[in-house]
Chains A and B, each alone.
Chain A
Amino acid sequence: MNAILTNPLRVGLRQERVISPQCIVIFGASGDLTHRKLIPALFELFRQRRLPSEFAVLGCARRPWSDEEFRSRMAEAMAEEVRNHQAAWDQFASCLFYEPVDLEQPEHVVRLGQRLEGIDRLKATRGNRTFYMSVSPAFYGSGCRSLAAAGLLADPSRSRVVIEKPFGRDYGSAQQLNKVVGACAQESQIFRIDHYLGKETVQNILVLRFANAIFEPIWNRNYIASVQITAAETVGVEERAGYYETSGALRDMVQNHLTQMLALTTMEAPGRFDPEAIRNEKAKVLQAARLADEQEPWNCCVRGQYSSGGSQARPMSGYRQEPGVNTNSTTETYVAMKLFINNWRWQGVPFYLRTGKRLPKRMSEVVLTFREAPVHLFDAAGGSPTANQLILRIQPDEGAGFMFEVKAPGSGMRSRPVDMHFSYDESFGEPSDEGYVRLLADAMLGDPTLFTRSDEVEAAWRLYTPLLELIEDSPWQLPIHPYESGTWGPGASDSLLANDGLMWRRP
């Protein structure tokens, strides 16, 4: 008999939280994100029976598509998925609608309101609406203003706005955008999405820390010597040169994804599992975070840019040779930095963050390195005992590992490090939902726990303001170090840790 690949008893057990009847309105429905992520995520929720029968998706963009055209375009973009689940798709597609809308045109927004009332009547969606801003960031503010002016955000219990990253491009613009959006809707209606928070393993940081009594007593400066947070990508800039040239790794990855991992790793325990309690703690810890040297930030940050590399068989071009990239570009594709958190728990513990494109391995992890044992009683196989490390693997091979010393077999009393390993695959055996599936469900449920609050966003931008200003005003002080594609970044990044007698973990 064949081994069972999936757990047959697990089917249908993910319906613990019920999404209310509602219509999700996607602005920018003709864009990439809609057919690559949003509609597939909604279809997945539909197939898992997590969407109610009274449900509708209204795609909105400037293009003059009809409902039918929208449906067929989505089907085309998800051809394989649709083929595999044709009957389910046919049902789901009947919930898809389209309305040509330019949010800058007031009469379009009035027409949108009328269309939504029609959908409420047709699909009994009860006036519950989630507006998803999958448009250029330049339109976030004006889009919200248009919706508010048309009264579509008036009822906080029935309307929500999901806003994609980037939320601002520095502290000032984030503040300004928060003001605009905050004038249109209550904070409880605003869902600033960071898809990293949709990952099971990122959420697991909270569970690991606060559902187990053994970690919290040692999760502080008395026991932890340093923390490394890495998000490495193997891909280059690909088709995103236009966006990436104005953003760079700092804005694209560090200010949001890495900072969220930092916040979850370092926040205090919330009093209860409540969105506001959790977000309060995250905001507090980010407000206490500082670059290791704010006066001379070049001492605690390294920027890099990938150059060509690879092998003869598979050559990889450099960033400046990528289509759409300025040949003299000084945009960083790699950034590493050192931070401190000035509070009782973390005072003096260095946090090292790094992210980059065209690194040898696609992986994200948080590594907590513990202090050494105060006295070395035993010889270590490696010369000196290896510090204990707790490794939280975000992706791939999601799970956790713990490195500790044991007695090496033999007649002596030498110690050597071993690795205790927990793997999501081995324990649960089934892939977890894609981040957007979780986050879209949460937004429709009105649960903001995994979304970023205004003060968190501002604290995150403020943290990196000295670097952003330096890059803006005197970029020569934070030069771009080239690194060969397929390597672990510029050598200067290693020096950042070597100065502290440390080295990056080689995953």
Chain B
Amino acid sequence: MAPQLTLQAPLGLPPSEVAPYLSQLWSQGLQGSTGASTFTLVVWEPAWLEQHLIRTGRGDGPITGLVSGERLEAARLAVSECGLPFSTAPMAPDLAWALGQLGGDHQAQDLRGQFVSGAISALMPRRLITLAATLAADHPLETMVAAYCPLPEEGGTGGACGDVVVLRGGMGALRQGLGLISPLVGDEMPCWVWWNGSLDEAPEMLDALAPIPRRLMVDSSLGTPRRCLDLLVERIGAGQAVNDLNWLRLRSWRESLAMVFDPPSRRDALNHVVQLDIDVEGNHPVKGLLLAAWIADRLGWHLENSFVVPTGESSGDGFGAEFRRSDGETVHFRLMPVPVGVPKAHPGALVGLRLICSPGEQPPLCVILCSESGGCMRLESGGMASMELVEEVVALPNESEEMEVARLLGGGHDTTNPLMAAAVPLAAKLLAQ
């Protein structure tokens, strides 16, 4: 679904006039429209990578906040130019930071907030509020509003409309503009906050934008692993509905693993797991730890201890743990970073998983799942000749962030997915200090 611009040119208004203007708009033109009872979406949209790629001449404008294939390709090329390890994912905040150190002054039109993904606009949000941080820290606050109607081909029928509010400026200016948000959000309909950036940055901004009961969407692949997991633990513990795009990207891995144990004849092997190995790209373990924690939680394992596994490689250290099964036996867990030449878009993508089950009287079972692009040679090595081997290639869905977000918005819940809520605290414990 192609993204669409707002039909109406955004109107620049002084911040103090935004709320009165919008209430006038709704009382006159849009009242009674079905768009009036949907949801509000607040998006933190710094788009640092995109802004730096354009500033340094690695792409043309406009700045939209949407990650296109072209931008990803430019980012991949920039990884080596910035002297970063080949395993650095194009979306890694490290890359945006490294690009920030390079010179360049290319300018482009900034259409963040006005360039709405078709998948999201088809859901007819009542209000889309975008906070578009600029590279220039001293950029003053600009506020823009526009009425918005999805085009018929996006699912719109002409009757459902919403509005778009953009707050653009340097970090300082955006902080000043935070006071505008709450009156615009209101409390009569669900509000989602999509933190579309690194979880390391602007924590006070995140706190201000996403208080309970607003529903939070984050991506735990962006930010330092400790910060990402701690934030998830804290927010879920506080009862907030939290959605993690990194967790959603585990779907095909979870499905593939579940599929292996669908035949009842294999189920008993799940009682006899002795070893779990997970390989991830680069040095961002959160996704792998979430997968391990989900498995441990579903199989009722108790965490005994966790530790760092030094590798001496530039790709970072691994993580290990020992779990106790319900029958008292030990399960050994290792998560290892693997250098890859062409990493996937997000840091810490999974390369492979190996689960070894050793039922007493039956031959051991070894399950290996690996990603399409990555080999599983490390996991395939050693000692499997005597085992029943189940080997699958996990198909990786090729959906954009916006599609994932639209899925959440389209049928969201006001609570955190219970499986994720159970896995997150365990993943945080697996991330040994």
Contact = CB atoms under 8 A, between A and B. Distances in A.
Interface of A: 1, 3-5, 7-13, 16, 18-21, 49, 51-54, 120-121, 124-127, 155-158, 425-430
A16 B295 CA distance: 20
Contacts of B265: 426
Contacts of A158: 34
23 contacts: A1-B326, A1-B327, A3-B267, A7-B258, A8-B299, A8-B300, A11-B298, A11-B419, A16-B251, A18-B407, A20-B123, A49-B417, A120-B37, A126-B37, A126-B38, A126-B124, A127-B160, A155-B157, A158-B34, A426-B263, A427-B262, A429-B264, A429-B267
A429 B411 CA distance: 29
Interface string B28-50: 00000010011100000000000
Given A13-B254, A20-B123, A156 B157 contact: yes
A427 B189 contact: no
Contacts of B155: 157
B257 interface: yes
B262 A429 contact: yes
Contact of B412 (A4, A52, A427): A52
B255 interface: yes
Contact of B263 (A126, A156, A427): A427
A428 B271 contact: no
B413 interface: yes
Interface in B260-276: 261-265, 267-268, 270-271
B190 A1 contact: no
A4 B359 CA distance: 13
A9 B268 contact: no
A121 B190 CA distance: 11
Contacts of B271: 1, 3-4
A49 B414 CA distance: 11
Which 7 A-B pairs give the minimum distances between C-beta atoms? A18-B411, A429-B264, A127-B34, A9-B258, A53-B414, A52-B411, A4-B267
A54 B407 CA distance: 14
B34 A155 contact: yes
A9 B263 contact: no
B363 interface: no
Nearest to A126: B38
B401 to A, nearest CB: 16
Nearest to B327: A1
Nearest to B270: A4
Contacts of B298: 8-9, 11
Given A124-B37, A124-B189, A155 B159 contact: yes
A124 B267 CA distance: 42
A157 B263 contact: no
Nearest to A6: B267
Contact of A428 (B39, B189, B262): B262
A427 to B, nearest CB: 5
Given A18-B408, A51-B411, A426-B265, 5 more contacts: A3-B271, A20-B123, A120-B37, A427-B263, A429-B263
Contacts of B270: 4, 7-9
A51 B413 CA distance: 8
Q: Find the residue from A21, A126, A155, A430 having the highest chain B CB count within 10 A.
A: A126
B375 interface: no
A18 B258 contact: no
A4 B327 CA distance: 14
Q: Find the residue from B188, B326, B410 having the highest chain A CB count within 10 A.
A: B410
A172 B84 CA distance: 73
A49 B412 CA distance: 10
Nearest to A50: B411
Nearest to B188: A121
B418 interface: yes
B155 to A, nearest CB: 6
A1 B267 CA distance: 12
A9 B271 CA distance: 12
A473 to B, nearest CB: 48
Contacts of B268: 3-4
Given A4-B270, A53-B412, A157-B155, A13 B258 contact: yes
Contacts of A10: 258, 261-262
Nearest to A158: B34
Nearest to A49: B413
Contacts of B39: 124, 126
Contacts of A124: 37-39, 189-190
A3 B263 CA distance: 13
Interface in B332-350: none
Contacts of A427: 262-263
A158 B157 CA distance: 10
B394 to A, nearest CB: 14
B252 to A, nearest CB: 10
A315 B418 CA distance: 52
Nearest to B189: A124
Contacts of A53: 190, 412-415
Interface in B237-265: 251, 254-255, 257-258, 261-265
B412 A12 contact: no
A480 B269 CA distance: 57
A167 to B, nearest CB: 27
Nearest to B156: A157
Contacts of A49: 413, 417-418
Given A9-B295, A20-B410, A121 B37 contact: yes
Contacts of B410: 18, 20, 52
Contacts of A19: 411
A443 to B, nearest CB: 15
A40 to B, nearest CB: 21
Nearest to B152: A157
A397 to B, nearest CB: 15
Contacts of B156: 157
B407 A9 contact: no
A11 B268 CA distance: 17
A51 B410 CA distance: 11
Contacts of A16: 251
B413 A7 contact: no
Nearest to B124: A126
B128 to A, nearest CB: 15
Contacts of A1: 271, 326-327
Contacts of A426: 263-265
B414 to A, nearest CB: 4
Given A4-B271, A20-B411, A120-B37, A9 B261 contact: yes
Contacts of A125: 37
Contacts of B254: 9, 13
A324 B268 CA distance: 52
Contact of A12 (B188, B261, B417): B417
Contacts of A127: 34, 37, 160
A231 B341 CA distance: 57
